[in-house]
Structure 1
Amino acid sequence: MTKKPEAPLLTRITATLALAASACFASADEGVTETPTPVHGIAMHGELKYPADFSHFDYVNPEAPKGGELKLSVVANGFDSFNPFVIRGISAAGINAYVYDTLLESSADEPFSEYGLIAESVEVPEDRSFVIFNLNKEARFQDGEPITAEDVEFSYRILTTEGHPFYRNYYADVDKVTIENSHRIRFDFAQTNNRELPLILGQMPVLPEHFWQDREFESSGLTIPVGSGPYRIASFDAGRSVTYQRVDDYWAKDLGVRKGRFNFDTISYEYYNDDTVALEAFKAGNFHFRQETSAKNWATAYTGRQFESGDIEKEAIEHHRPTGMQGFIFNTRKPVFQDPLVREALAYGFDFQWANQNLFFGQYTRTSSYFENSDLASSGLPEGRELEILEAYRDQLSPDVFTEAYVPPDTSNGVSLRDNLRTALKLLTEAGYQIKNGKMVHQETGKPLAFEILLFQKSFERVVLPFKQNLGKLGIDVSVRLVDSNQYVQRVRSFDFDMITQVLPQSDSPGNEQRDYWHSSNADVPGSRNFMGVSDPVIDELVNMVIQAPDREELVRRVHALDRVLLNGHYVIPHWHLRKDRVAYWNHLKRPANTPKNGIDLNNWWTER
């Protein structure tokens, strides 16, 4: 997995550059800074794992044979676009991962390091005030045209002006772009201590200016694009399937960042409207790989002749990536959820222990951090450097931030659901509500406490309906609306919901993307990932501090502080997480012996028949 989650379904302290002896500077007497030495990669903090001449990543099989096909499924209501970079439409599965290359490539076994792909080397000064990308002169688009600095400048410009709002936030600190020659481009930064910015620019997909110059970028529809990656679109059935064909003369196939990867001749996605139908299609051999998200399915549905014979392999593969936050998301733009006491109270209506035992076969662990399953997760009471950070905002924060360790409500250790509902009632009374004629209403306005939970997965009703029933005991009117996946996406993009269930993924190196999640500047930007409408000056400053973190130790402390303030804002009712990838696959698929910390990656697999 790359460092950041894919955007559409999305200051500053001087630091020491983590590229040992990579930059040379003139003496103080000269007063002029020399151009940094070109290097093959860049690490966010610390040193690179792989040397300049590395032949392949440790978690791939460099001898993996090329050939065969990989058939996959998507449970959704189709697609209507081959442009994953804009807010309009629903883009086809796989297009960003397979059709477009980036300037640099992330490794999956380091916290956040990138190595040359389209850019064969980078130049970064010690203060990271700019970055220069030196393009590989062999780099080609799929139509044979060379990839030039002009294409890189075009990509930056079109993404930040006509692309998804995510890109404007992600690259917000870029001040100037200079094309120095056809294979050399420089980005200067408005702030000199955003040490992540050279790396996130390295993640930028490079688009062909000659292809887009006579086309409307924001409304490309199903026009087959020209890309720069290892696959091109071979065929499609609008809204139903898409097939990618491996590019035989792909210019980067022997680079260290590509060796042993992208081994299938074709990769196809078939769309299904129903997950139960998709599961049966998998068992019938209609597609080859499935990652299971349902605990019930995993416990009960993966049985039969194919599994007994070994034709289908079933594995739960451990990973060590942050699991992020999944939960019931409050839309605080809605009046019903603007009071934190109300949000806190409603959390007492969700009985995770009951759900885990009765619905999930005991497979899950309760989530209690936005950065779960990592050293970035806050715990206990703040102390040391974390406490020092929070002290600066004491008068703007709830006292609970300093006096109570956040623990989501549960029904363990002798606490019953009845006890939790009593606590909820007490909080709602503090918030000005009372039960009148069996309904929870506001004492002053008489308005009932009622809201809608928007879903697109029917299987999630079994989680939501008990939650609805529990809140109903308090006179709270909860309705559940199930819509198709396309309608769901459009409503979430426009913040047209009261409550949704959502995953907020995180990386092992949080940075500029945190603006998109929590910063007030994105609270009302359609398509941003600030689903909750967070708008808090303290959180804004903590986000900036995370972006500015000069080293790993300070990053961890600042993320702890951000995590703690978010948790005490009660913007979500946390769900659960799993530290394993549950996968099933037909046995002609093979995977490398080593699994990186980020977990499985099908782009490293191959087929043997």
Structure 2
Amino acid sequence: MSFGIWAHMGRKLHTAGLAASVSLIATLAAAEPQHGIAMYGDPALPPDFAHLPYANPDAPTGGAMVTNTVGSYDSLNPFITKGTSFWQLRFLMGESLMARSLDEPFSLYGLLAESIETADDRSWVEFTLRPEARFSDGSPVTVEDVIWSYETLGTVGHPRYAGFYAKVDTIEQTGDRSVRFTFNVEDRELALLAGLRPILQKAQWEGIDFAESGIDNIPIVSSPYVITDFEPNRFIEFTRNEDYWAEDVVPFVNGLYNLDTLRIEFFGDEVAAFEAFKVGEINSNREFNVVRWDSQYNFDLIESGEFVKSVLPHSRPSGMTGFVMNTRTDQFDDIRVRDAMMHAFNFEFINDTITGGAQPRITSYFSNSPLAMQDGPATGRVLEFLEPFADSIPQDAITGYALPVSDRSERNRAGIAAALSLMEEAGYTIQDGVMADEDGTPFTFEILLQSNSTENTAIIDIYTESLTRLGITPTITLVDGAQYKERTDVYDFDMTYYRRGLSLSPGNEQYLYWGSDSVDTTGGRNLMGVESEAIDAMINRLLTSESQDDFLAATRAMDRLLTSGRYVIPIYQWNISRIAHDADLKFPDTMPIFGDWPGWQPDVWWFEEG
């Protein structure tokens, strides 16, 4: 780590002293330690809760879960930008001060921290560590580790951590086991986010460049599982730590982490991954293709009952899945062109062809939830929030917007006609069979896809056929996972596949997804390149709302802006999860509202021969 970074960290770090003492005395009456915290009101579970409502405290330990994934990896440090790590690693390796319940929109309960206290206005938050907290090597988790982790992740870690750190004014050690964060902005969610960063062992990284680590330096954490074997691009194996510090100490983990072994197998394509499941090399498979679920799950292990199919409900938002248009490019900086691309995308025909019409379409970023924009014109607080930006946002963000719907025929005459009209408004006409501008320059663009995504390739093949009716011939570029990450990190694409999962408690991560400040961040998540004063204002409103009504209105207004902005061509939503698995792999009957979400599988599962 450079001297400049350490100097920056030093400016924020203050040890307990006169200033801290004065601050503590001045606010002591306004706060007291609690076992948990909620965004609004109180957490649902009382201080003496025994276990999470969706966990089985009587689950036996033992057994293994082997899952598959399509892709590759060259890093086992999921907390930095360098390299490609498996997405699930940060959930399996990162233990934080507080832990999130999947049965409440945004409530946290103590994990590494035994208590949390915060000011009424949430301008600061303080955590007290559990004396039992230990890293996997047996060393204690200290306040020094906590401060080092926040400073390091906030300065040289993955960009997902930088936004929070920029809003921290000071981090102070206020006691042997206590640490306080004071914030420099009004943002009620920060008190909760402060409890959700992974805590790493400072001593491990002495003399090592954290930002450049990868395979050779596996982060030491306090999690219940440790990596015990791996082979790059082939597999990663985790083993349950028999000396896991939180067992019989922390109510939150009672009934969790029952499996002895977790193994993730990597494959080059979906066909190979599915074949491995069919012969039992994999014993849990999450299925996204409904046609395959209905027609190809008739192999011997299913027929014999050794494997079973489970359909699982959830109540979380659809999020956005589809094909994102990069507004940084000349092709897609015009909303009329983006609108034309959406009319040309014949979803109903594609859905019939790929899934037999079985998958409903995503209708907005928060569809399938109470946070979704409502049909028709904006009213009430939603309208009040949008009106100051009426001159700079799409008109139908206020009057009402809905996605184009085709007649399900391959030709999609109405959609193509609408697309032609929109392209003409944007200055393009068909000249000698080719869509071109007034100078005769053809309109074309590149669609960047990962080579192992067969379903996305099939969808794009149908889409490009539709585009030929507009005189548009895009270039389809297939690259491997490493090349794909390298290009999307610097936004080197015109259109690409896009997936953004959203929760019932949207917060600061919204700035990362579509905030103006993240547009130029290398490796950032604002792939669409949106810069909107109105969207920024809605994010700020939902972060500073003191009532659930205002929070709901701000989120619905933001949903209107994102959807009417025509940044992503939506495809399917999954309002259920489909998992086929070994019949001896069990999960509780009670499903949390978030359903199949990080924190549920493998966390609440167990192995029991039946």
TM category, shorter = over 0.9
CA distance in 2, matches of 1:41, 1:581: 29
Task: From the superposition, tell whether residues 397 and 427 of structure 1 become closer, same or farther in structure 2 (CA, over 3 Å).
Answer: same
Q: Which residue in 2 is equivalent to 1:16?
A: none
Task: From the superposition, tell whether residues 361 and 46 of structure 1 become closer, same or farther in structure 2 (CA, over 3 Å).
Answer: farther
Q: How far does the alpha carbon of each residue in 1:276-304 deviate from its partner, in whole angstroms, 9 at most, with x for none?
A: 11111111110110001122321221112
Indicate if the aligned counterparts of 2:331 and 2:443 stay in contact, CA closer than 8 A. Answer: yes
CA distance in 2, matches of 1:148, 1:462: 52
CA distance in 2, matches of 1:291, 1:122: 36
Q: Which residue in 1 is equivalent to 2:357?
A: 362
Map 1:95-494; keep pairs closer than 5 Å.
95-191=89-185, 193-222=186-215, 223-254=217-248, 255-380=250-375, 381-403=377-399, 405-412=400-407, 417-443=412-438, 445-456=439-450, 457-494=453-490
Q: Which moved more, 1:79-88 or 1:483-492?
A: 483-492
Task: From the superposition, tell whether residues 553 and 589 of structure 1 become closer, same or farther in structure 2 (CA, over 3 Å).
Answer: same
Deviation, 1:182, is: 2.9
CA distance in 1, matches of 2:466, 2:92: 45
Indicate if the aligned counterparts of 2:167 and 2:184 stay in contact, CA closer than 8 A. Answer: yes
CA distance in 1, matches of 2:275, 2:167: 48
- Picking from 81, 94, 109, the partner of 1:87 is 81
Indicate if the aligned counterparts of 1:458 and 1:482 stay in contact, CA closer than 8 A. Answer: no
SS at 1:175's partner residue? strand
Number of equivalenced pairs: 576
Gaps of 5+ in 1: 1-29
Indicate if the aligned counterparts of 1:39 and 1:122 stay in contact, CA closer than 8 A. Answer: yes
CA distance in 1, matches of 2:92, 2:570: 33
Deviation, 1:395, is: 2.2
Q: Which residue in 2 is equivalent to 1:67?
A: 62
CA distance in 1, matches of 2:358, 2:310: 14
Q: Which residue in 1 is equivalent to 2:11?
A: none
TM-score of the superposed pair, with normalisation by structure 1: 0.92
Task: From the superposition, tell whether residues 242 and 510 of structure 1 become closer, same or farther in structure 2 (CA, over 3 Å).
Answer: same
Indicate if the aligned counterparts of 1:353 and 1:411 stay in contact, CA closer than 8 A. Answer: yes
CA distance in 2, matches of 1:314, 1:128: 45
Q: Which moved more, 1:329-338 or 1:549-558?
A: 549-558
Q: Within the alignment, does 1:592 sit opposite 2:596 as a pair? A: no
Deviation, 1:32, is: 6.2
Q: How far does the alpha carbon of each residue in 1:46-103 deviate from its partner, in whole angstroms, 9 at most, with x for none?
A: 3211111111001011010011111111210x21111101111012454322223111
CA distance in 2, matches of 1:416, 1:559: 37
Deviation, 1:334, is: 0.8
Instruction: Give, as a single letter, the amino acid of the residue that structure 2 aligns with 1:325.
Output: M
Indicate if the aligned counterparts of 2:346 and 2:408 stay in contact, CA closer than 8 A. Answer: no
Q: Which moved more, 1:392-401 or 1:344-353?
A: 392-401
Q: Which residue in 1 is equivalent to 2:511?
A: 515
Indicate if the aligned counterparts of 1:368 and 1:406 stay in contact, CA closer than 8 A. Answer: no
Map 1:571-586; keep pairs closer than 5 Å.
571-586=567-582
CA distance in 2, matches of 1:448, 1:301: 43
CA distance in 1, matches of 2:590, 2:104: 14
CA distance in 2, matches of 1:72, 1:414: 38
CA distance in 2, matches of 1:99, 1:413: 46
Q: Which residue in 2 is equivalent to 1:570?
A: 566
Deviation, 1:415, is: 12
Indicate if the aligned counterparts of 2:349 and 2:408 stay in contact, CA closer than 8 A. Answer: no
Indicate if the aligned counterparts of 1:86 and 1:164 stay in contact, CA closer than 8 A. Answer: yes
Task: From the superposition, tell whether residues 294 and 588 of structure 1 become closer, same or farther in structure 2 (CA, over 3 Å).
Answer: same
SS at 2:369's partner residue? coil
Indicate if the aligned counterparts of 1:332 and 1:532 stay in contact, CA closer than 8 A. Answer: yes
CA distance in 2, matches of 1:194, 1:105: 20
Q: Which residue in 2 is equivalent to 1:606?
A: 606
SS at 2:29's partner residue? coil
Indicate if the aligned counterparts of 2:336 and 2:423 stay in contact, CA closer than 8 A. Answer: yes
Q: Which residue in 1 is equivalent to 2:20?
A: none
Gaps of 5+ in 2: 1-24
Deviation, 1:412, is: 4.1
Instruction: Give, as a single letter, the amino acid of the residue that structure 2 aligns with 1:209.
Output: K
Q: How far does the alpha carbon of each residue in 1:311-335 deviate from its partner, in whole angstroms, 9 at most, with x for none?
A: 1101221111112011110001111
CA distance in 2, matches of 1:319, 1:516: 25
Instruction: Give, as a single letter, the amino acid of the residue that structure 1 aligns with 2:279.
Output: A
TM-score of the superposed pair, with normalisation by structure 2: 0.92
CA distance in 1, matches of 2:62, 2:536: 49
CA distance in 2, matches of 1:379, 1:188: 37
CA distance in 1, matches of 2:605, 2:77: 26
Deviation, 1:224, is: 2.8
Indicate if the aligned counterparts of 1:92 and 1:242 stay in contact, CA closer than 8 A. Answer: no
Instruction: Give, as a single letter, the amino acid of the residue that structure 1 aligns with 2:116.
Output: V
CA distance in 1, matches of 2:547, 2:238: 40
How well do the aligned residues superpose, as a CA RMSD in angstroms? 1.6
SS at 1:427's partner residue? helix
Instruction: Give, as a single letter, the amino acid of the residue that structure 2 aligns with 1:453.
Output: I
SS at 1:421's partner residue? helix
Deviation, 1:114, is: 0.3
CA distance in 2, matches of 1:96, 1:383: 41
Q: Within the alignment, does 1:531 sit opposite 2:527 as a pair? A: yes
SS at 1:181's partner residue? coil
CA distance in 2, matches of 1:92, 1:476: 36
CA distance in 1, matches of 2:87, 2:466: 37
CA distance in 2, matches of 1:269, 1:415: 40
SS at 1:296's partner residue? helix
Q: How far does the alpha carbon of each residue in 1:501-540 deviate from its partner, in whole angstroms, 9 at most, with x for none?
A: 1111111011111110111111111111100101122222
Q: How far does the alpha carbon of each residue in 1:176-229 deviate from its partner, in whole angstroms, 9 at most, with x for none?
A: 1111123100000112x3111111111111001111122110111212331110
Task: From the superposition, tell whether residues 199 and 466 of structure 1 become closer, same or farther in structure 2 (CA, over 3 Å).
Answer: same
CA distance in 1, matches of 2:47, 2:552: 29
SS at 1:564's partner residue? helix
Deviation, 1:173, is: 1.4
- Picking from 20, 32, 38, the partner of 1:37 is 32
Q: Which moved more, 1:57-66 or 1:193-202?
A: 193-202
Instruction: Give, as a single letter, the amino acid of the residue that structure 2 aligns with 1:108.
Output: L
Instruction: Give, as a single letter, the amino acid of the residue that structure 2 aligns with 1:576.
Output: Y
Q: How far does the alpha carbon of each residue in 1:338-390 deviate from its partner, in whole angstroms, 9 at most, with x for none?
A: 11100001101111111222211222111111112111110221001111111
